[in-house]
Amino acid sequence: MTSINGTAMPAVMEMIGHRDELGVAVARQGNGATCIDCGVHVPGSYRAGSLFVEACLAGLATTAITMDRVGGMIFPFLHLTIRQPALACLGSQKAGWTIKAGSYSAMASGPARALAQKPKETYRRIGYRDTSDTGIIALEADSLPNEEVTGFVARECGIDPENLYVLVAPTRSLVGSVQISGRVVTAALHKLEDRGYDTRRISHAAGRSPIAPVKKSGIEAMGTTNDCNIYYGSVVLVTEGYDPVFETLPSRTSPDYGRPFFRVLRDAGYDFLNVDSALAFSPAEITINDRLSGEVYHFGGLNADVLLESFGVR
């Protein structure tokens, strides 16, 4: 079976090879681990964000950035097409591993999760195990990990630290904005997984979401980046058969729908886990193409007003 750490490596190598033009920094730690700073001490770039997304999706996605309108205003949008969606989204991009080592804590995504089997239930459901000697992990964090952290990750993955590649981007960075928009399809599959749907019945997926403007604080950024998917994210799934659970996927099914995510998060005590998952892990709209019947179904819709309010447009 193909190693998703192997298929993700070309995106990582492009980041390393073109670090200066991409606005990223690459450092090799004393234990041999390679850390790629995508926004902690560097500006990053839109292309770096696209490569971050492609690495998180295990090299099983193609990305593009275009310009389009939200209401009457122009913003950049991230487009992505994904093959093997269950493996790419749930087996790799899902933020399924909370890394804690010493005083450091971060949410981890990327194909190295498959080496550590974090969480095991996800890999049991999709029927996948990776045995690569190399691991690629992506951290959403405001600081770079030290050797204690990378050593811990390498041990959990069963690899040598010198074969570990760590991508780091704060939420309040340009790459952070791009990579969260790049989770719009994964949000839908995560919701399907939580509701017991066999995501292996999804053969192809595509998504589009605006890229949030960079904010000064992490809490503000968490709000605007998630609102891109919640209020203006579009997903298309090609499935084998129809299931009524598809009707529950759009964010408007949540009682919290209609308010910027920052306000919802504030009311939840700034604890993401206390936010209604029907809102937090949902695209604005979804189109289902049942390839067995040839039927097409559409649920949800876009909401420019709430998104522009979230962006703080004056």
Closest-CA residue to 111 (of 222, 237, 2, 236): 2
Closest-CA residue to 186 (of 86, 261, 300): 86
Structure confidence at residue 270 (pLDDT): 82
Positions of the chain with pLDDT lower than 70, given as ranges? none
137 near 166, Cβ under 8 Å? yes
Distances (CA, A) of 114 to 35, 178, 256: 19, 23, 33
Provide the CA 116 distance to its chain's centre, in angstroms: 18
User: Strands across the sheet with 202-210, in order?
Assistant: 61-70, 73-83, 202-210, 234-239, 285-290, 296-300
Report angle CA 182, 254, 98 to the nearest 5 degrees. Answer: 50
Q: What is the rounded distance in angstroms from the CA atom of residue 152 to the CA atom of residue 164?
A: 11
Q: What is the rounded distance in angstroms from the CA atom of residue 118 to the CA atom of residue 97?
A: 6
Q: What is the rounded distance in angstroms from the CA atom of residue 193 to the CA atom of residue 230?
A: 18
Paired with 67 in beta bridges are 76
Closest-CA residue to 101 (of 40, 31, 50): 31
Q: What is the rounded distance in angstroms from the CA atom of residue 167 to the CA atom of residue 291?
A: 37
Q: Which two tokens stand for residue 30?
A: 């004393």
Structure confidence at residue 138 (pLDDT): 98
Structure confidence at residue 278 (pLDDT): 83
φ and ψ of 167, to 5 deg: -100, 135
111 near 53, Cβ under 8 Å? no
Q: What is the rounded distance in angstroms from the CA atom of residue 15 to the CA atom of residue 47?
A: 9
Q: What's the CATH architecture for 4-311?
A: 2-Layer Sandwich (3.30)
Distances (CA, A) of 11 to 17, 180, 242: 10, 17, 34
Q: What is the rounded distance in angstroms from the CA atom of residue 309 to the CA atom of residue 314?
A: 9
pTM over 0.85: yes
